């Protein structure tokens, strides 16, 4: 039964029901202004002493919260990573993005690789262009990263073999971009025309090449995110003066440390998923190198010499005018004529 609050009986009834003093009940009923809590005193944040440093590093291009948190900890910050993330969130541009459904692959089935421009390294004789070759296995998300000074096809091949050796296996499929070392042409609605030499390289190592859909980098989103992660999390750690060899040692150690962390998509350590990944791939023999198998066709000159990579190699007189196959070996080169090795030479001092 509903009662009105304007008479003594209803106030008394409310007092009995709530066990509150009638004066308190009357004050609440008759005062139209709702009670308000006193304002809370603003508390300082643990980040306040580091606000200027955080703003300075952000303006310098360091936008990775994990790395900023690690830097702040070295300066005495005792707060959490989430506090740093919350602090830098308003600084990030808020853009609408087209949703892209992710896809998962079976262990050992899939790997993605990419090349990205990383500016230059400065040497005493001047700067040299710097590129990053990055690979990631699709199931475990383990990474293989190497910096190089050129994007030539031979460098691609060497780098891919370095990744096979790093992982100890060859996946069933490798997804790459539509770069000329791999792809001759790839119409948007047509078939891929592979570079014949890259197709021979793929057949030699037993993997199936796949090219990303033109004008859609999200096709290989896993490796795109890793390249971005290297820029944001690893690159700020690199000292201003460093050699290529030291840079690659540093990034290899960094990648190994990341393998021990929980991945944001799989919710597992890369290392924990690796046993299944390796079991699903083909084991790799690090002596199985394309550079020692690929034949280079050359014609012997009339004075019985073979020209190859800027050097002249003597041949038997009877081979003059004939075609021969030049192959690299672990120690130098071997020259075959009519399926027979007719000459061997040590590795040239400047090839």
**Run of H or E including 311:** strand 311-314
The answer to whether residues 151 and 185 touch, using CB atoms and an 8 Å cutoff, is no
Share of the chain above pLDDT 90, in %: 29
- Taking the C-alpha atoms of residue 290 and residue 196, their distance in angstroms, rounded to an integer, is 14
pLDDT at 2 over 60: no
User: Which tokens hold the place of 1?
Assistant: 């039964």
pTM above 0.95, yes or no: no
**CA 288 remoteness from chain centre:** 26
Domain annotation covers residue 21: yes
Q: What is the mean pLDDT of residues 166-184?
A: 91
Domain annotation covers residue 37: no
Domain annotation covers residue 314: yes
CATH for 309: 2.40.50
Both 268 and 140 in one domain: the answer is: yes
Q: Which long-range contacts (CB under 8 A, 24 or more apart) does 126-130 make?
A: 130/244
Both 121 and 199 in one domain: the answer is: yes
Both 132 and 268 in one domain: the answer is: yes
- Taking the C-alpha atoms of residue 214 and residue 217, their distance in angstroms, rounded to an integer, is 8
Both 275 and 204 in one domain: the answer is: yes
Q: How many domains does the chain have?
A: 4
Both 232 and 152 in one domain: the answer is: yes
Both 177 and 236 in one domain: the answer is: yes
Task: Give the residue among 179, 175, 188 at the shortest CA–CA distance from 214.
Answer: 188
**CA 315 remoteness from chain centre:** 47
Both 314 and 276 in one domain: the answer is: no
Domain annotation covers residue 254: yes
Domain annotation covers residue 42: no
pLDDT in tens, 191-238: 889 999 999 999 999 999 998 877 665 566 688 888 888 988 888 888
Domain termination site, one of 230, 258, 283: 283
Domain annotation covers residue 94: no
- Taking the C-alpha atoms of residue 327 and residue 85, their distance in angstroms, rounded to an integer, is 55
Q: What is the mean pLDDT of residues 282-291?
A: 90
CATH for 260: 3.30.420.10
- Taking the C-alpha atoms of residue 49 and residue 65, their distance in angstroms, rounded to an integer, is 17
Would you report the helix, strand and coil content of the chain in percent, each value rounded to 5? 35, 25, 40
- Structural domain for 328, as ranges: 295-346
Both 247 and 133 in one domain: the answer is: yes
Both 118 and 266 in one domain: the answer is: yes
Domain annotation covers residue 172: yes
Which of 130-139, 219-228, 296-305 shows the lowest mean pLDDT across its residues?
A: 219-228
Three-class HEC string of 90-143: HHCCCCCCCCCCCCCCCCCCEEEEEEEEEEEEEECCEEEEEEEEEEEECCCCCE
Domain termination site, one of 253, 283, 313: 283
Categorize the per-residue pLDDT at 351 as very low, low, confident or very high, splitting at 50, 70 and 90.
very low
Both 19 and 78 in one domain: the answer is: no
Both 138 and 226 in one domain: the answer is: yes
Domain annotation covers residue 38: no
Both 143 and 229 in one domain: the answer is: yes
What residues are paired with 183 via a beta bridge? 194
């Amino acid at each position: 039964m509903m009662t009105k609050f304007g008479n003594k009986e209803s106030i008394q009834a409310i007092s009995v029901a709530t066990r509150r003093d009638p004066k308190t009940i009357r004050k609440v009923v008759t005062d139209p202004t709702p009670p308000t809590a006193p304002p809370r005193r603003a508390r300082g944040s643990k980040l306040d002493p580091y606000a200027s440093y955080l703003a300075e590093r952000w303006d310098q291009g360091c936008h990775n919260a994990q790395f900023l948190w690690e830097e702040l900890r070295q300066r005495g910050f005792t707060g959490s990573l989430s506090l740093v993330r919350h602090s830098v969130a308003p600084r990030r541009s808020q853009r609408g993005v087209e949703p892209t459904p992710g896809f998962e692959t079976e262990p050992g089935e899939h790997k993605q690789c990419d090349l990205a421009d990383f500016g230059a390294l400065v040497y005493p004789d001047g700067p040299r262009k710097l590129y990053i070759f990055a690979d990631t296995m699709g199931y475990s998300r383990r990474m293989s990263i190497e910096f190089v000074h050129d994007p030539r096809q031979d460098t691609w091949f060497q780098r891919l073999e370095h990744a096979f050796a790093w992982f100890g296996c060859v996946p069933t499929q490798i997804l790459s971009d539509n770069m000329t070392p791999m792809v001759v042409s790839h119409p948007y609605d047509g078939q891929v025309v592979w570079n014949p030499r890259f197709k021979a390289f793929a057949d030699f190592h037993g993997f199936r090449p796949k090219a990303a859909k033109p004008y859609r980098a999200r096709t290989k989103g896993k490796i795109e995110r890793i390249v971005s992660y290297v820029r944001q999390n690893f690159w700020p750690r690199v000292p201003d003066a460093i050699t290529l060899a030291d840079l690659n040692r540093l990034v290899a150690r960094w990648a190994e440390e990341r393998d021990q962390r929980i991945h944001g998509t799989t919710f597992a350590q890369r290392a924990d998923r690796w046993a299944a990944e390796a079991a699903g791939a083909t084991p790799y023999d690090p002596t199985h190198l394309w550079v020692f198998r690929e034949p280079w066709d050359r014609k012997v000159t009339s004075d019985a010499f073979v020209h190859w990579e800027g050097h002249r190699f003597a041949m038997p007189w009877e081979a003059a005018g004939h075609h021969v196959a030049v192959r690299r070996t672990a120690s130098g080169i071997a020259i075959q004529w009519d399926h027979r090795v007719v000459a061997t030479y040590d590795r040239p001092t400047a090839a």
